[in-house]
Amino acid sequence: MKRKVFAYPYIVWMILFIVIPMLFIIYYAVNVGGDFRLDKFWATLSDGNKWTVLWHSVVMAFKTTAICLLLGYPIAYILSNMKRSVAGFISVLFFVPMWMNFVLRTYAWQAILEYFIPEIKTMLGLEGSVLMVLVYDFLPFMIMPLYNTLSKIDKSLLEASRDLGANGTTTFMRVVLPLSIPGIVSGITMVFIPAITAFTVPALIGNGMYHLYGNEIELAFKTPNAPGDYAVGSTLSIILLISVLVSTLIMNHFDKDQQTGGQMW
Amino acid sequence: MVKKAFKPFKYVYLGLMLLFLYIPIIYLIVFSFNDFTFGRRVSYANLGVWNGFSLSNYKNLFVGEAGNALLLTLEIAAISSVLATVIGTAAAIGIYAMKKRSRNLILNVSQLPMVNPDLVTGITFMMLFAFVNGLLVRMGLAQIGDITKLVIAHVSFSIPYVIFSVMPRLRQSSDLLYEAAMDLGCSPMQALLKVVIPDIMPGITSGFIMALTMSLDDFVISYFVSDLKSVLSVYIFSCARGARGVNPALATVIFIPLVTLLLIVNLRRLAKEREYEIQSKKVKMKDKGGNIK
């Protein structure tokens, strides 16, 4: 018996539950009630409102990523320069919230903004509040890859840079920062793409008054008290998948430190 | 000199960021001891006024809808992570023995659920099950229930994580081990169970833990997959959207075991780190000997 036989159950599973479900997006985009029809597909594609919401979501995701990077880089940098035992402990503290149910954390912010300190919401406005909670949810995902990359930088390189006459700022700009680019790229990927598709945060923080692209898709499929409109939802998802694919390809272009296996995605 | 002046600033910054990350959690834990009874009704909607100390929220956790959701979450997580670990480990062993071409193809497809946004994975499952259930109804058969749907979805999104944490371990261990075991009279199954699997056990364990936490943490996919019965995060979402609010005691019940678990794992990891470094040095030396294809 050859060992590759052991992969067969998984291959069947993969075809049934990874490959075929993906095809359903295309199937339902052009199939209304069993008939092949393209009208809903074109109607959704030419709906200017949807594109406005998509653009708005991309901008929000961009802002979220930028703020996470600005807040997270110093954290990772400080941690990477600490003694290993101390840094190990404090970094765990930063990653614990990541493992806590994120709907519950988002709900906590909803309650804080609604009942406990409503001043925050009046100060930041609706969009600002959504942005703050998005940053809150994704910050650990930015810190983690940054911390991993920064703590792996060989400290003798920094000493070499000092010995060759560079001061602290120059060493940082010309040694640390370039070496941490793989961490920055994977941090951006880990924040930007989930942020485009976020629908929980706007749904809870915005109380249904604030829509991002994820909410459009969610509403298409899960309209309260009505059967979902699969054609619209599928078309919106195709647009989303293409945007995500494009941004992943752009990221991968910058990331030369690719992991094993797939260079395809 | 400059460094020293920055030192207190560093700690202040870290402290502020930690405060930002923990405020919502602390807030919920504090209010989980609040009394939310108004007359005979319990409403969590007004989570800002301190009504007096009470432990009744903890009693309410384990009854009714919240209790059911909590139980279902644990059930789905246990079943799906065990299934995903078994299928995923077998798959990794099989894929590793394949030719480069088919191996890369399968690994690329396996990455799909990892790169796909959860939202898209969720709706693809929703459409798949809607389609299959439609067929089943037309044939006069029973539909697929929520629990089965949830298990299938959770297994599917966790398997790739198991595969990708077992693979590096297989790469580190030697192919010769498997062949040596067979030469010494093991059947392929015995060689696998007695030699290969113990050798890649750390990878299997971390894959299992990943699958477990992914399942416990999932909201988006479960939300689209299930209709009536669902896991805790979906229950929390529907409560948060509605007027009744969420029982804050949930935060404590999730947070305390989580912190304990993470601390145990990390203390163990810190102790093992040294051992592991020595081992990986050995592997590197083997690599230089040209042992790897």
B184 shares its domain with B270: no
Q: pLDDT tens-digit profile of A102-143?
A: 899 999 999 899 888 888 888 999 999 999 999 999 999 999
- Please report whether residue B185 resides in a domain: yes
Cα A263 to chain centroid, rounded: 20
Q: Are A80 and A153 within 8 A, CB to CB?
A: yes
Report the sign of the C-alpha dihedral through residues A79, A83, A86, A91, in that order: positive
* pLDDT at res. B112: 85
Best of A103, A162, A265 to disrupt the B interface (most B CBs within 10 Å) is: A103
What end-to-end distance do the CA atoms of chain A give, in Å? 33
Q: In A, which residues are within 8 Å of B109 by CB distance?
A: 14, 18-19
Cα A265 from chain centroid? 16
B213/A241 CB distance under 8 A:
no
pLDDT at A223 exceeding the cut of 70 = yes
3-class secondary-structure state, position A83: coil
Helix, strand, coil shares of chain A, percent, nearest 5, are 80, 0, 20
Position A120, amino acid: I
Mean pLDDT of B56-82: 89
The answer to whether residue B125 is domain-embedded is: yes
Per the structure, how many domains does chain B have?
A: 2
Distance, CA of B9 to CA of A138 (rounded, Å): 24
> Which of B14, B96, B188 is nearest residue A90 as measured by Cβ atoms?
B14
Token reading at A25: 């997006």
Residues in chain B: 293
| Shared-domain flag, residues B142 and B165 | yes
Whether residues B228 and B177 share a domain: the answer is yes
The verdict on B221 and B108 lying in the same domain is yes
Pick the CATH number of A50-215 from 3.90.220.20, 2.60.200.20, 1.20.1050.10, 1.10.3720.10: 1.10.3720.10
Asked if A104 contacts B236 with a C-beta cutoff of 8 angstroms, the reply is yes
- Lowest mean per-residue pLDDT among A38-47, A224-233, B266-275: B266-275
Task: Give the highest mean pLDDT range of A27-36, A107-116, B80-89, B215-224.
Answer: B80-89
Domain C-terminal end among B230, B247, B264: B247
Q: Which of A24, A78, A89 is closest, CB to CB, to B127?
A: A24
Q: Which letter does DSSP use for residue B145 in this model?
A: P
Q: Which residues of A238-248 are buried (b: 16+ CB within 10 A; e: fewer)?
A: bbbeebbeebb
Structure tokens at A205: 């923080």
| CATH number of the CATH domain containing B95 | 1.10.3720.10
* Average pLDDT for B5-23: 88
B263 and B132 co-located in one domain: no
Q: How far apart are CA B113 and CA A73, in angstroms?
A: 28
H or E segment to which residue B41 belongs = strand B41-42
Residue written as tokens 């494009």? A246
Query: Do B81 and B164 belong together in one domain?
Result: yes
Buried b (16+ CB within 10 A) or exposed e, B167-199: bebbebbeeeebeebeeeebebeebbeebbeeb
**Distance (Å) from the alpha carbon of A53 to chain B's nearest alpha carbon:** 16
Across B184-194, average pLDDT: 84
The residue of chain B with its CA nearest to that of A167 is B2
> Alpha-carbon distance A16 to A10, whole Å?
10
Detail the DSSP E strand segments found in chain A. Answer: 31-32, 35-36
Structural domain contains residue B21: no
Containing H/E element for B42? strand B41-42
- Among B24-33, B100-109, B277-286, where is mean pLDDT lowest? B277-286
The two tokens of residue A206 are 């915005």
B160 close to B116: Cβ distance less than 8 angstroms: no
Report the complex ipTM: 0.85
Question: Do residues B292 and B237 both lie within one domain?
Answer: no
Domain boundaries, chain A: 50-215
Residue B187 counted as domain residue = yes
Residue closest to B156 by CA, chosen among A16, A17, A8, A24:
A17
Which run of H or E residues covers position A57? helix A48-80
Residues B151 and B275 in one domain: no
Q: Following CA atoms A37, A43, A46, A51 in sequence, which dihedral angle do they give, to the nearest 10 degrees? A: -110
Helices and strands, counts by H and E, chain B: 13, 2
* Residue A71, pLDDT above cutoff 90: yes
Answer whether residue B198 is part of any domain: yes
User: Pick from B18, B113, B168: which is nearest to A93 by CB?
Assistant: B18
Nearest CB neighbour to B254, from listed A104, A200, A217 = A104
> Whole domain around residue B152: which residue ranges?
61-247
Q: Is residue B9 in some structural domain?
A: no
* Torsional class of B226: left (φ above 0), alpha (ψ -120 to 50), beta (otherwise): beta
Same domain for B67 and B95? Answer: yes
Query: What amino acid is encoded at B292 in this protein?
Result: I
Please write the tens of the pLDDT for every residue from A23-36. 988 888 887 777 77
- B221 in any annotated domain: yes
How far apart, in whole angstroms, are the C-alpha atoms of residue B267 and residue B110? 32
Q: Report the half-sphere exposure of B2 (CA within 13 A, side-chain side).
A: 3
The answer to whether B156 contacts A17, with C-beta atoms less than 8 Å apart, is yes
Q: Are residues B212 and B280 in the same domain?
A: no
Spatial separation of the C-alpha atoms in residues A252 and A182, rounded to whole Å: 10
Residues B252 and B233 in one domain: no
Contacts of A95 in chain B (CB under 8 A): 262
Is B282 within the bounds of a domain?
A: yes
pLDDT of residue B166: 92
Cα Dmax for chain A? 73
List Cβ neighbours of A26 (8 Å cut-off, separation of 6 or more).
Answer: A234, A238
Question: What's the rounded Cα separation, in Å, for the pair B20 and B18?
Answer: 5
The pTM of this model reads: 0.85
